[in-house]
Amino acid sequence: MEISGFCDARFARVRDTFRENFASRGELGAAVHVMVGGKSVVHLWGGVADPRTGAAWREDTLVLIFSSTKGATAACAHLLHTRGLLDFDAPVARYWPEFAQAGKDSIPVSYLLTHRAGLAAVDQPLPPEALFDWERMTAALAQQPPLWPPGEGHGYHAITFGFLVGEVIRRLVGRTVGQFFREEIAGPRNLDFWIGLPAEHEHRVARIRMPPLRNRPTPFFRALLQRGSLTWKAFMNPPSITSGSAANTRAMHAAELPASNGMTNARGLAGLYAALLGNGTSSLLSRTTRPLAEDVAVDGLDRVLLTRTRFSYGFMKTVADDPHDFVRFGPNEAAFGHVGAGGSFGMADPIAGVAMGYVMNQLGPGIFLNERGQSLIDSVYECLGA
């Protein structure tokens, strides 16, 4: 397997692990990028971008990162908060008056970012095309009563997170999340990262290969197959981006789904998290707002994913007590990030000064990390002596 790119000699173990992922862990095509103290120390890619044609993964290959997109959307919210424009403690209805329907007038913005709003799904049956209809989805969420008492526990807002946080941003700044992200975050930092991919970049997109559900006999996957369950509704009403071949369509790549359809590469993800740390550019977070990204806001059994999850404001935190579904962003509790279906991730560790991104087109089992991505994180910290 030919691996391209560069790797600082100090991080040779990361290159070896990346190669091992192809040799023994089922990798198809992938890229990894690591920055330490604002400097790129690992920039590697390899494998196959399109298994139908055998086209090679290139340095500029883009791929769908599923819920790793949430980190970009959270970054937009944090930037507005840092600028003093978005109050996380204010009711959502201050920015989005229609949201006050069905007893939701006092739900704060912070509940959207921490999956506590009780709006992980909508009860109204929605057709597949509703996923691409922003007005229809936000209207349905504005009308939807909470599915559990807001603030009493949390449940992963897999798809609705993007519409909820995104509509607050749109009402506040008059731009979609995709526009705001490009103009305020990705563009100024030269990040090849898109929420709503322009047609001229479609030729660079890797083809996703899905994993079989039958390999994961966990409570989450059993609930996902149970029509009408909260888990099923959260992912399948309307049918979401992980439900089949839709992941490889132009319509999916062109849409703006701020929870689930970001298109980028490993360098784009690492660059986003470096910006959150302030490494190599102006930080998206201030000294007073950074703890909201670093500190755990919710911790416990997730009503949707049916396993323990931990979240800060918009980001995932390490949780390692489930042998099937785990996220370990290194040894430092301050680390934060987000994973995507199949195993992509972006992360930042303010203690070690690490920003990292990993993307791939062969989706792995589970709902968080798998051994490919986790082995790369572990290798980085081995090289750092942690």
User: Does residue 335 lie within any of the structural domains?
Assistant: yes
* Any domain includes 160: no
In a domain, 211, yes or no: yes
Q: What pLDDT, on a 0 to 100 scale, did the predictor assign at position 243?
A: 57
Range of the domain at 59: 3-76+179-384
Instruction: Tell me the per-residue pLDDT of 78-124, one tens digit each, with 9 for 90 and over.
Output: 999 999 999 999 999 999 999 999 999 999 999 999 999 999 999 99
pLDDT at position 98 is 99
Do you know the residue count of the chain?
Answer: 386
Instruction: Write down the pLDDT at residue 1.
Output: 81
Tell me: the pLDDT tens digits for 180-213? 999 999 999 999 999 999 999 999 999 999 886 5
Cβ-Cβ contacts under 8 Å for 104 (sequence gap 6 or more): 92, 93, 117, 145, 146, 150
- CATH assignment at residue 350: 3.40.710.10
Model pLDDT, residue 212: 65
In a domain, 294, yes or no: yes
Q: What pLDDT score does 292 carry?
A: 97
192 located within any domain: yes
What is the 3-state secondary structure of the chain?
Answer: CCEEEEECHHHHHHHHHHHHHHHHCCCCEEEEEEEECCEEEEEEEEEEEECCCCEECCCCCEEECHHHHHHHHHHHHHHHHHCCCCCCCCEHHHHCHHHHHHHCCCCEHHHHHCCCCCCCCCCCCCCHHHHHCHHHHHHHHHHCCCCCCCCCCCCCCCCHHHHHHHHHHHHHHCCCHHHHHHHHHHCCCCCCCEECCCHHHHHHECCCECCCHHHCCCHHHHHHCCCCCHHHHHHHCCECCCCCHHHHCHHHHHCCCCCCCEEECHHHHHHHHHHHHCCCCCCCCCCCCHHHHHCCCEEEECCCCCCEEEECCCCECCECCCCCCCECCCCCCCCEEEECCCCCEEEEECCCCEEEEEEECECCCCCCCCHHHHHHHHHHHHHHCC
Report pLDDT digits (tens) over 13-27: 999 999 999 999 999
Query: Given this model, what pLDDT does residue 280 score?
Result: 46
- Asked if residue 136 is part of any domain, the answer here is no
Let me know if residue 92 belongs to a domain.
no
Residue whose C-alpha is closest to residue 142's, from 113, 183, 182, 112: 112
- The candidate with the shortest Cα–Cα distance to 313, out of 160, 118, 113, 175, is 113
| C-alpha–C-alpha distance, residues 168 and 122, integer Å | 18
pLDDT for the residue numbered 183:
98
Asked whether residue 172 is assigned to any structural domain, the reply reads no
> Which residues of the chain are modeled with pLDDT < 50?
280-281
Statement: the pTM of the whole predicted model exceeds 0.95: yes
**Per-residue pLDDT, 326:** 82
Residue position matching structure tokens 């490889």: 248
The pLDDT, as a whole number, for residue 215 is: 54
Q: Which residues are CB-neighbours of 385 under 8 A, at least 6 positions away?
A: none
- The answer for residues whose C-beta is within 8 angstroms of residue 277's C-beta and 6 or more apart is 38, 283, 348, 350, 353, 355
pLDDT of residue 216: 63
- Per-residue confidence (pLDDT) for residue 386, from 0 to 100: 72
Q: Domain count of the chain?
A: 1
